[in-house]
Amino acid sequence: MAMAKVPILVAVALMAAVASCSAREPNICMPLAEVAATAADDAVAPLIHALRPLLGSGGQLGSHGGVPCDSWRLGVEAYNVRDWKMVPANCEGYVGHYMLGSHYRRDSKVVIDQAIAYLDSLRLAGNGKEVWVFDIDETMLSNLPYYATHGFGARPYNATSYNAYVLEGSAPALPETKRLYNKLLTVGIKPVFLTGRTEDQRAITVANLRRQGISGWMYLLLKQPGFKGSAVIYKSGERQKLQDAGYVIVGNIGDQWSDILGAPEGARTFKLPDPMYYIG
C-alpha cells in the first residue's frame, strides 16, 4: 500500500508540471514544489481541468474524432483492451509517431532498465540451469520497417506481405532488448527464444538474428506445424517443458501479454510496448 502512493504522487506532479504554466492565467507559473504541495492538498481536480487547453479536444492526443488514442494505447498496454484486431483508424498517425519518434524507445528503455535492475538484484546459482525466455517479434527483432509501410497496424493483417517481409530476414534488433540479452550472457544466464514463428521459418530466423549480431542462445523454440492452441497454451506449455527439464526461468520478456501469461510464467515477467497488434 505504501508503495502505491509514490507513482500516484509522481503522476500528479507530472500533470501539475504541465498544467502549471497553462491554466486560464498563463502568465502565472507556479514553482513545481508549490504545485506538488497544492496537489497534495486535494486540489487535483481543478488542475486536471486546467490541462484541457494543452491536450486539445478532451485530451485526445493524435485523435481526429473517435477513440482518444493515448487512452487507447494505455488500455492496450495494461491489458484492459483485449482481442483487438486493428489499431483504430483514427490512431494510425498517433501510433506512427509513437513508434518512429523517441517515445517507443523511451518506454522500452524503462522496461529494460527494470529488467537489468532485477538481474543485478539476483543471487544466481550459476549452475548453467538458469534461463531467460525471449519472444522474438517486437521483442528481440523489430518489424517496424514492415509496419511503417502498412499502416502501423491500422490496416487488416496481410499474411502474404507480412510473411514475405519475415523471409527477407532483415528485421533490425531492438537495441534495448539487445542490451539485456548481452548482459545475460555475461552473467551466465542462457537466453531461450520462444516465438510464434513456425518451424519452417527457423533458417531465416537464425540468419536474421545472426545478421543483427545476436548469438549464444541455448534454444530457439518455434511453433510446430499443425499446432492449433492459443499463444498462451503454446508458450506456457514450452516453458513447462523447460522447467521439467530442470531449467529455472529467472525472467521472461515479450511484447504481448500472451508471452508472459500462463504458468509457469517465469520468476519475473517484463512487458515491452506494442501498440501495433494483438496476439491472444
Ligand X SMILES: *[C@@H]1O[C@H](CO)[C@@H](O)[C@H](O)[C@H]1NC(C)=O
The identity of residue 195, as a single letter, is: T
195 alpha carbon, distance to own chain's centre: 15
CB 114 within 8 A of CB 236: no
**Nearest approach, Cβ of 167 to ligand X (angstroms)?**
12
158 makes contact with ligand X (CB under 6 A): yes
**Nearest approach, Cβ of 76 to ligand X (angstroms)?**
24
> All 3 cell numbers of residue 117?
535492475
Residue 270: how many CB atoms within 10 A of its CB? Answer: 22
Which of these ranges, 20-28, 73-81, 101-109, 157-165, lies near ligand X under the rule CB under 6 A?
157-165
* Interaction mask 106-145, ligand X, x per CB under 6 A: ----------------------------------------
149 makes contact with ligand X (CB under 6 A): no
163 makes contact with ligand X (CB under 6 A): no
In angstroms, what CA-CA distances link 3 with 8, 96, 112, 188? 10, 34, 21, 32
Which of these ranges, 26-34, 113-121, 154-162, 259-267, lies near ligand X under the rule CB under 6 A?
154-162
| H or E element in which residue 23 lies | none
According to DSSP, residue 90 is labeled G
Which of these ranges, 93-101, 120-128, 158-166, 210-218, lies near ligand X under the rule CB under 6 A?
158-166
Q: What values do phi and psi take at 271, rounded to 5?
A: -110, 115
Q: Which residue among 27, 80, 121, 160 contacts ligand X (CB under 6 A)? A: 160
Q: Which residue among 161, 163, 182, 215 contacts ligand X (CB under 6 A)? A: 161
Residue 234: how many CB atoms within 10 A of its CB? Answer: 20
Q: Which is nearer to ligand X, 161 or 215 (CB)?
A: 161
In the complex, which residues of this chain contact ligand X (CB under 6 A)?
158, 160-161
